[in-house]
Amino acid sequence: MKSDIILAGVGGQGILSIAAVVGMAALENHLYIKQAEVHGMSQRGGAVQSHLRISEQEIASDLIPEGRADIIISVEPMESLRYLPWLSENGWLVTNTTPFVNISDYPDMKELLAEIEKIQHHIAINADEIARQVKSVRSSNIVMLGAASPFLDLPYQSLENGIKKIFGRKGDKIVQLNIDALKAGHDFTQAHRN
Amino acid sequence: MEKLLLLGAEAIAQGAIDGGMSGIYAYPGTPSTEITEYVQHNKIAVERNIHRQWSANEKTAMEASLGMSYAGKRTMVCMKHVGLNVAADAFINSAITGVNGGLVVTVADDPSMHSSQNEQDSRFYGKFAMIPIFEPANQQEAYDMAYEAFDLSEKLKVPVMIRITTRLSHSRSGVETRPLKTENKLKYPEDPIQFVLLPFNARKRYRGLLNIQSLMEQQSEQSSYNTYYPGRNKSLGIIACGIAYNYLMENYQEGKCSHPILQIGQYPLPFIKVEKIVNECEHVLVLEDGYPFVEEMLRGYLAKDTKIRGRLDGTIPRDGELNPDVVAKALDREVKTGMEIPSIVTNRPPELCAGCSHRDIYNALNETMIEFGKQKVFSDIGCYALGALPPWNSINSCVDMGASITMAKGAADAGVHPSIAVIGDSTFTHSGMTALLDCVYENTPVTVIISDNATTAMTGGQASHATGRLEEICIGLGVKPEHVITLTPLPKYHDEMVKVLREEMLYEGISVIIPRRECIVQSVANSKKQKKVIVEGVAQ
């Protein structure tokens, strides 16, 4: 069992929280894990990514080689495409469709969605809208994790447990909102996967 | 033993705490910041009251650490690679004084310059100082080396360097911890003049350092971090240093590498092991993140055509960080490539946050400079360096901590007027105060803008030594009080800011303008904290 995951987004969008939850879930299942993050200057509204690797066997490199990622989880549509060189032939692209526009030359949304449609295995989900529907507007990142959960070799319950551990400090209400967000994302993918 | 999920930086911090450290000293700098932050929040560190406050800069950190070592206690000083330039005087001389309590210098290099102005390799500094260097391959080794480095330092009586790179510092993995050691007791050096580097004693101490070089080599030779793995295929031998070993092994997931491998994690290089792999193999590929440090040593100066392969002969790109694909290409292994990035994907560089005070300052400065002309603004290291990018294009330099003021001085000396410096509050107390004193000494006409957001923002909001005392410092250094002017950088005060900037630029002396407004990221975080306190207060 091995999952090589690329997390993508814009600085401040919460991809490290996704990584932290998956990390906890991996630990619960006694898996090896390596997770390379971006700190520093890029966190100021720039493109950020994280390489997250979980495996039954010991992991050598902190970075995923090109063309070997099993899944790209992106909280922003344009950012999902930036890491296509890493996606393996049968890999899944799971992306939010709500754009984060902080640059003047942001591409046309229709063209962007058309590029995402070209990827054979993809899930495009309006995570911001779904987060609103479950009354958890700040949890679009966890909606994305939920949407990707069917493609991760991890028990769904372990992801819930991960949320409890990571968000536990912030109180039961925040935990529940994130668990709801996880489920909403998960249900969307189960209903829409091709 | 307990297994923790830690960043490489955090693993070093945990290893140092468990290894009996009594104090950590540092100035924040990516990718080293998380080491000190981890200690600041660690339960045992708090219980033991391990020293864990930030220092004004890397030099003061290095010196304070040396002082703690003088007193017999175990101590670590951390910095990013360019921080070691600032601390270099104290660092090099600490090898001559030697240590009393174990002293570990942790330096985080940044190959590929993710958050830095160069990709200098700190191993050269370690060799320059003639001290042992540890270079971990993974988070577990980072922990173990920090845990063990104090012992080695006390055994050899010299500082020990731990060198990591961004990738290991900011990558998380499981780490097994070891038993917590007791702290050293206060104990003065046996020789009361050990730390007196007057020439008569410095010569003696230096000879002592030279004499133990062979002992350091012996330690490397026996070190479990320098491992020789035999291989049948001797057409190529591979020397893999630090994290490069992981990228090598990533390429042999299916089984064993058939080439002999020498893994290096401790310097000076183990001569016998290096000699063995070089002698028995037709070619030797050196994999190291950073400069071709080992490769250069093995090639020598005169040899034009050698059996050594690496960055110098083009087998590996001369600059930039290693990764599994770069190593695969160097080994002629299969390299996969995914799809190309669609052409509609545009760059998304970092930017000043919405609501950031630096934005308002640059807007006012740009309007003021229409009258005075272009290319007269020197700036510095911090978030405000992003003012070099569109839409502002406000600044013309960003070199090293504090250089804005001194470069503005040199330019003013050359006839540039007005000559302007833009520097942050934390960068000012790091290395800008002496620069301002140079201006005061000659009454050089410069306009210094200290953009005060009351934090060290770029690295995530650490305390700033300048907070609450900037005006006093500037007046104390000799700037006339009527030319130390505080402003509130908000769009509604734009016209007033332009007016003040213009007046002070016309003034033929030193002005310090302090636009002051809390960092917007910190402001949001603090208001959340306050809200939480109120809610918890109500609940109780």
HEC assignment per residue over chain A? CEEEEEEEEECCCCHHHHHHHHHHHHHHCCCEEEEECCCCHHHCCCEEEEEEEEECCCCCCCCCCCCCEEEEEECCHHHHHHCHHHEEEEEEEEEECCCCCCCCCCCCHHHHHHHHHCCCCEEEECHHHHHHHCCCHHHHHHHHHHHHHHHCCCCHHHHHHHHHHHHHHHCHHHHHHHHHHHHHHHHHHHHHCC
Is B176 within the bounds of a domain? yes
Q: Do A65 and B174 touch (CB under 8 A)?
A: no
CATH number of the CATH domain containing B48: 3.40.50.970
* Chain A residues near residue B34 by CB distance under 8 angstroms: 39
Is B531 within the bounds of a domain? no
Q: Do A37 and B170 touch (CB under 8 A)?
A: yes
Alpha helix segments (H runs only) across B373-419: 403-413
- B68 and B139 within one domain: yes
Cross-sheet strand order for the sheet of B133-134? B21-26, B74-80, B103-109, B160-165, B133-134, B266-267
Is B352 within the bounds of a domain? no
pLDDT at B537: 44
Chain A contact present for B538, CB below 8 A: no
- B413 and B302 within one domain: no
Cross-sheet strand order for the sheet of B227-229? B227-229, B261-264, B236-241, B283-287, B308-309
pLDDT at A58: 93
Q: Do B338 and A10 touch (CB under 8 A)?
A: no
Is residue B112 a contact partner of residue B166, using CB atoms and an 8 Å limit?
yes
- B450 and B306 within one domain: no
* Chain A residues near residue B111 by CB distance under 8 angstroms: none
Chain A contact present for B348, CB below 8 A: yes
This prediction's pTM: 0.96
Cα four-point dihedral sign B154, B155, B160, B162: negative
- B206 and B234 within one domain: no
Q: Which of A27, A62, A113 to mutate to test the interface with B (most CBs of B within 10 A)?
A: A62
* Chain B residues near residue A63 by CB distance under 8 angstroms: 167, 247, 323-324
Is residue A3 a contact partner of residue A53, using CB atoms and an 8 Å limit?
yes
Distance, CA of B15 to CA of B12 (rounded, Å) = 5
Q: Do A119 and B351 touch (CB under 8 A)?
A: no
Q: Which of A4, A17, A28, A41 to mutate to test the interface with B (most CBs of B within 10 A)?
A: A41
Give the helix/strand (H/E) hosting B499: helix B494-506
Q: Do B383 and A46 touch (CB under 8 A)?
A: no
Is residue A181 a contact partner of residue A131, using CB atoms and an 8 Å limit?
yes
Q: Do B342 and A68 touch (CB under 8 A)?
A: no
- B454 and B517 within one domain: yes
Is B513 within the bounds of a domain? yes
φ/ψ of B240, rounded to 5, equals -120, 120
Q: Which of A22, A44, A51, A52 to mutate to test the interface with B (most CBs of B within 10 A)?
A: A44
CATH of A2-192, one of 3.40.920.10, 3.40.50.720, 1.10.1060.10, 1.10.10.10: 3.40.920.10
Q: What would the two tokens of residue A64 be? A: 């995923």
* Chain A residues near residue B172 by CB distance under 8 angstroms: 19, 23, 33-37
Q: Which of B246, B341, B351 lies at the smallest CB-CB distance from A85?
A: B341
pLDDT at A11: 87
Chain A contact present for B351, CB below 8 A: yes
pLDDT at A32: 94
pLDDT at B357: 97
Q: Supply the DSSP symbol for B282.
A: S
pLDDT at B380: 98
Is B346 within the bounds of a domain? no
φ/ψ of A73, rounded to 5, equals -110, 115
Q: Which of B33, B248, B383 lies at the smallest CB-CB distance from A44?
A: B383
- The C-alpha of A72 sits at a distance from chain B's nearest C-alpha, in angstroms, of 12
* Chain B residues near residue A115 by CB distance under 8 angstroms: 342, 344
Count contacts between A and B (CB, < 8 Å).
154
Closest CA to B68 of B153, B141, B131: B153
Q: Which of A32, A33, A81 lies at the smallest CB-CB distance from B345?
A: A81
Distance, CA of B323 to CA of A83 (rounded, Å) = 15
Q: In Å, how far from its chain's centre is CA B306? A: 34
Q: Which residues pair with B423 in a beta bridge?
A: B450
- B251 and B303 within one domain: yes
Is B221 within the bounds of a domain? no
Q: Do A38 and B243 touch (CB under 8 A)?
A: no
The ipTM is: 0.94
Least confident interval from A8-17, A57-66, A74-83, B420-429: A8-17
Is B532 within the bounds of a domain? no
Closest A-chain CA to B29: A40
Cα four-point dihedral sign B74, B79, B81, B85: negative
* Chain A residues near residue B247 by CB distance under 8 angstroms: 60-61, 63
- The C-alpha of B251 sits at a distance from chain A's nearest C-alpha, in angstroms, of 9
How would you class A66 by CB atoms within 10 Å of its CB: exposed for 0-12, middle for 13-18, buried for 19 or more?
buried
Q: Supply the DSSP symbol for B482.
A: G
Q: What would the two tokens of residue B12 be? A: 């070093």
Chain A contact present for B335, CB below 8 A: yes
How would you class A192 by CB atoms within 10 Å of its CB: exposed for 0-12, middle for 13-18, buried for 19 or more?
exposed
pLDDT at B349: 87
Q: What would the two tokens of residue B379 be? A: 């700036």
Q: What would the two tokens of residue B5 be? A: 């999920």
Q: Do B250 and A61 touch (CB under 8 A)?
A: yes
φ/ψ of B117, rounded to 5, equals -95, -10
Closest CA to B134 of B156, B115, B117, B119: B156
Q: Do A23 and B341 touch (CB under 8 A)?
A: no
Closest B-chain CA to A31: B174
Tens digits of residue pLDDT in A97-156? 999 999 999 999 999 999 999 999 999 999 999 999 999 889 999 999 999 999 999 999
Distance, CA of B231 to CA of B213 (rounded, Å) = 31
Mean pLDDT of chain A: 94
pLDDT of residue A41 exceeding 80, the answer is: no
Q: Which of B30, B172, B458 lies at the smallest CB-CB distance from A35?
A: B172
Chain A contact present for B528, CB below 8 A: no
- B284 and B168 within one domain: no
Q: Which of B171, B339, B349 lies at the smallest CB-CB distance from A85?
A: B339
Is residue B5 a contact partner of residue B23, using CB atoms and an 8 Å limit?
no
Give me the tens of pLDDT residue by residue for chain B, a chain 540 residues long. 568 899 999 999 999 999 999 999 999 999 999 999 999 999 999 999 999 999 999 999 999 999 999 999 999 999 999 999 999 999 999 999 999 999 999 999 999 999 999 999 999 999 999 999 999 999 999 999 999 999 999 999 999 999 999 999 999 999 999 999 999 999 999 999 999 999 999 999 999 999 999 999 999 999 999 999 999 999 999 999 999 999 999 999 877 899 999 999 999 999 999 999 999 999 999 999 999 999 999 998 887 778 999 999 999 999 999 999 999 999 999 899 889 999 999 999 888 999 999 999 999 999 999 999 999 999 999 999 999 999 999 999 999 999 999 999 999 999 999 999 999 999 999 999 999 999 999 999 999 999 999 999 999 999 999 999 999 999 999 999 999 999 999 999 999 999 999 999 999 999 999 999 999 999 988 887 776 655 444 443
Chain A contact present for B346, CB below 8 A: yes
Q: Which residues pair with B261 in a beta bridge?
A: B229, B238
Q: Which of B172, B245, B357, B524 to mutate to test the interface with A (most CBs of A within 10 A)?
A: B172
pLDDT at A112: 97
- B428 and B324 within one domain: no
- B446 and B310 within one domain: no
Radius of gyration of the CA atoms of chain A, in A: 15
Interface of B with A in 448-507 (CB under 8 A): 458-460
- B382 and B282 within one domain: no
Cross-sheet strand order for the sheet of B484-487? B377-378, B419-424, B446-451, B511-515, B484-487
- B267 and B137 within one domain: no
Burial B21-50 (b: 16+ CB within 10 A, else e): bbbbbbbbbbbbbbbbbbbbebeebeebeb
φ/ψ of B153, rounded to 5, equals -60, -45
Distance, CA of B419 to CA of B442 (rounded, Å) = 15
3-state DSSP assignment of residue B446: strand
pLDDT at B1: 53
Distance, CA of B305 to CA of B63 (rounded, Å) = 44
- B117 and B20 within one domain: yes
Q: Which of B171, B253, B352 lies at the smallest CB-CB distance from A36?
A: B171
CATH number of the CATH domain containing B288: 3.40.50
Mean pLDDT confidence for A161-188: 95
Q: Which of B33, B34, B341 lies at the smallest CB-CB distance from A84?
A: B341
Q: Supply the DSSP symbol for B389.
A: S
Structural domain harbouring B167: 3-180+195-211
Domain count along chain B:
3
